[in-house]
Amino acid sequence: MFESEYQEIWIHDSEKLPDSCITCGMFTDQVVKAKAVQHHQKMVPASESNSMMALGCLLHLLGPIGLIAHTALQQGSSPPTTVQKTVVSKSKVKVPCCRLCGSHGIPEPTTADVVAGRYAFNAHPRFIERLNVLRRESMDEV
């Protein structure tokens, strides 16, 4: 099947990309901004924990009684110094995508490493081929 020729390829956001549509492989000078979202775990001080802050806000809304309950909660439990929190990083990465494919939907990364600026896309074989040529050329320059 034609679809099976698509391969996942990692793209760096500062990388020079070929003028081929990432979806259909045809020549294009159009670029689209693909939205990338990454969920990752981060250790944060317990005081910054969202759940505790949300609870605090909620209790503050309840007025003086809530305030007492909040203080009691903070004193009663000894929270760990750090907690694991899921952080969502969002970014946009420019990828070549022709008008036609773009009208059907902006390509989305299959996996994103926003922190490192790397994004994986299911790309057309011709796009990958041309990207590999560019990568070889840039290696020759070094």
* Residue 52: CB minimum distance to Zn ion, A: 48
Q: Which residues pair with 120 in a beta bridge?
A: 10, 111
Q: Does 123 bind Zn ion (CB under 5 A)?
A: no
* CA–CA dist 21, 97 (Å, integer): 4
Provide the minimum distance between the beta carbon of 20 and Zn ion in the complex, in angstroms, as a whole number. Answer: 8
- How many residues bind to Zn ion according to rule CB under 5 A? 5
- Asked if 111 contacts 37 with a C-beta cutoff of 8 angstroms, the reply is no
Is residue 101 near Zn ion by the rule CB under 5 A? Answer: yes
Strand-pair partners of 122: 8
Q: Whose CA is closest to 132, among 4, 14, 20?
A: 20
Pick from 10, 19, 24, 35 the residue near Zn ion by CB under 5 A: 24
Terminal CA-CA length for the chain: 39
9, 11, 17, 21: which one binds Zn ion (CB under 5 A): 21
Residues between 32 and 71 that touch Zn ion (CB under 5 A): none
The residue among 107 and 114 lying less far from Zn ion, judged by its C-beta, is 107
Which residues would be at the binding site for Zn ion (CB under 5 A)? 21, 23-24, 98, 101
